[in-house]
Structure 1
């Protein structure tokens, strides 16, 4: 399949391989200092002290069960009302003196390592730091665990992390497994493909094409429902799809448009095709037992949105996302279930 820049494929492929190589030490289990009080480690690595201990389920689990049972697409983004108070999960984090957060490390603009500094940066990382500051005070200690898309829910269920802040879409299927905060960003699934590809969007132009998506993502779920004749290729992380596209091993990518826009910013030979075909509200994911932590995160988000155009949310949007996703004037409005 022809595409702009095919003559530069070797150079581009080498650049992508160099990026993968730069990330390899973290995947292999090497601890990297992401900031003064933050550490980045792999989800299956040795860890930073003991993993969070399970809290009793009891009424907490019953409440989560009820919310999941009543979930519909219309109210999927509804969450518990905010509270600045503590509780078993918040107290556990304070006693440990460190927040453990599951994040991405290779999605540009959202959660990625700055190659010049080695620091984790992005919209999700900024939000995770705000949550840590609220619970632990100024200059909080944070352990960032790099988690593949398909391991976000297992990491919470096994209590390898306290939270997942990783462009995770809120939906009813996931709410049967984990709890969510209110939405902190609104995206939608869209197709990413080379500029000159004869692909027009999520339609029959995908017939016979190799379409890449991340395992465990809403893109994989949507393609399982409606392939449009495509051959689906799944990978652990969305960046792997860009690599496949670069190396000619995939013809298109299905992912959230927010992530696709970041990938297009990294490679000017690809572009978004068609229109978004789903609603993708991103939420902070939490173990279903930890309702006090859900409420505390929702309080942080209330404060984060406060001030409209002068809010911390808008400041983070302008810093990380506006260049690739222009035209957003405010954070999503929160929905509450009680």
Structure 2
């Protein structure tokens, strides 16, 4: 493994220290890891975007949506807030000793979202926007913001980790969509984003348009980007010669492939792409977002009391201007997404799921 890392590092010379370091980390850590509790910190610079064509379409997976209204707005189909404990929360609170923690699936490679800061000394702390939300939920349910057991999971293992009971929830830039609603339950949205193209600044790619012809595009397996691109290519919305064969377990692995010259572009959530552009000054966002998507907290389908409780927590988190959503945005995301958070704020929640 040491020799492999040295070879990859050699290939990444000239791509920027922080970005290269995170990229090596992403390939080296492919499976679930148990991580320590976290403290906030870190900094970054904004990436830049270019002109392009905005389609503002939803990913086309419809597995968990049973009506046209639900297919149009799956983020509205969650349960009303409640502060009451049920069987799921009672089981979490009944854990004893060192096991009395909220078990949460997170990322450790997404800069400013869920990021294991290599400059934090020997602690290897996690930090970021998603991590702040984890601490808020732990504080509400267990009375201790640090009563968390973090499990780092790849993009393509988020739903299996929930269904298998390895985690109580996943807070990992996870888009609410119909296909996922067939398998897990979601909270109300806590962030708004959209798919965008990331490519080298020197690239002729201009956005999600015909400039992607004959270009090699990387997406993460099981991601909404992968679903959107494969669906759009079938319907002709994406040029047929775009090469979509490169898929990876972790989204950040795509940045590594881009840096090594193995692909020509990456498609992922614009919020994540902006953070990657901040890590690597040789890449930039190309064009405007071509979907509208919302991140939610994912839980087991039958964990109704936990879903209601998280929705209750989110109400207070968004209203808290001192230590809530806005403060977390200012700390972690304003440097990459801009000081105006209005485009990232989810709409007022609607609770249309009945049971």
Same fold (TM over 0.5): yes
Change (3 A) 1:224 1:23: closer
Find the counterpart in structure 2 of residue 298 from structure 1.
311
| C-alpha contact 2:32 2:152 (8 A) present in aligned 1 | no
Alignment partner of 1:102 is 2:105: yes
Distance in 1 separating the partners of 2:81 and 2:345: 16
| C-alpha contact 1:187 1:279 (8 A) present in aligned 2 | yes
Number of aligned residue pairs? 300
Change (3 A) 1:256 1:25: closer
Find the counterpart in structure 2 of residue 336 from structure 1.
351
17-26 or 105-114: bigger deviation? 17-26
Find the counterpart in structure 2 of residue 33 from structure 1.
36
SS at match of 2:296: strand
Find the counterpart in structure 2 of residue 269 from structure 1.
282
| C-alpha contact 1:313 1:331 (8 A) present in aligned 2 | no
Distance in 2 separating the partners of 1:311 and 1:18: 31
| Higher normalized strand content (fraction of residues) | 1
In the TM superposition, residue 17 of structure 1 has moved relative to its aligned partner by 6.0
Find the counterpart in structure 2 of residue 128 from structure 1.
134
Find the counterpart in structure 2 of residue 230 from structure 1.
242
SS at match of 1:213: strand
SS at match of 1:193: strand
Choose which of 331, 335, 355 in structure 2 pairs with 1:319. 331
| C-alpha contact 2:12 2:20 (8 A) present in aligned 1 | no
SS at match of 1:234: strand
Distance in 1 separating the partners of 2:201 and 2:28: 33
Alignment partner of 1:173 is 2:188: no
Change (3 A) 1:189 1:27: closer
| C-alpha contact 1:26 1:32 (8 A) present in aligned 2 | no
Q: TM-score, normalised by structure 1?
A: 0.83
Distance in 2 separating the partners of 1:182 and 1:142: 21
Within 5 A, what are the aligned runs for 1:251-270? 251-270=264-283
SS at match of 1:82: coil
Within 5 A, what are the aligned runs for 1:1-338? 10-12=13-15, 18-19=21-22, 22=25, 31-35=34-38, 68-70=65-67, 72-78=70-76, 79-96=78-95, 97-117=100-120, 118-227=124-233, 228=239, 229-232=241-244, 233-307=246-320, 309-310=321-322, 312-326=324-338, 327-329=340-342, 331-332=345-346, 333-337=348-352, 338=354
In the TM superposition, residue 68 of structure 1 has moved relative to its aligned partner by 4.3
In the TM superposition, residue 274 of structure 1 has moved relative to its aligned partner by 1.2
Any idea what the Cα deviations from partners look like across 1:156-176, whole Å, max 9, x if unmatched?
111110000000000111101
Name stretches of at least 5 consecutive residues in structure 2 with no aligned partner.
1-10, 40-63, 234-238
Distance in 1 separating the partners of 2:127 and 2:25: 16
Find the counterpart in structure 1 of residue 57 from structure 2.
none
Find the counterpart in structure 1 of residue 42 from structure 2.
none
Distance in 2 separating the partners of 1:136 and 1:12: 43
Q: Select the structure with the greater relative contact order (CA < 8 A; seq sep ≥ 6).
A: 2
Find the counterpart in structure 2 of residue 55 from structure 1.
none
| C-alpha contact 2:198 2:266 (8 A) present in aligned 1 | yes
Any idea what the Cα deviations from partners look like across 1:167-219, whole Å, max 9, x if unmatched?
00001111011000000000000101111211111111111111011110000
Q: TM-score, normalised by structure 2?
A: 0.79
Change (3 A) 1:247 1:13: farther
Change (3 A) 1:13 1:231: farther
Change (3 A) 1:180 1:237: same
214-223 or 135-144: bigger deviation? 135-144
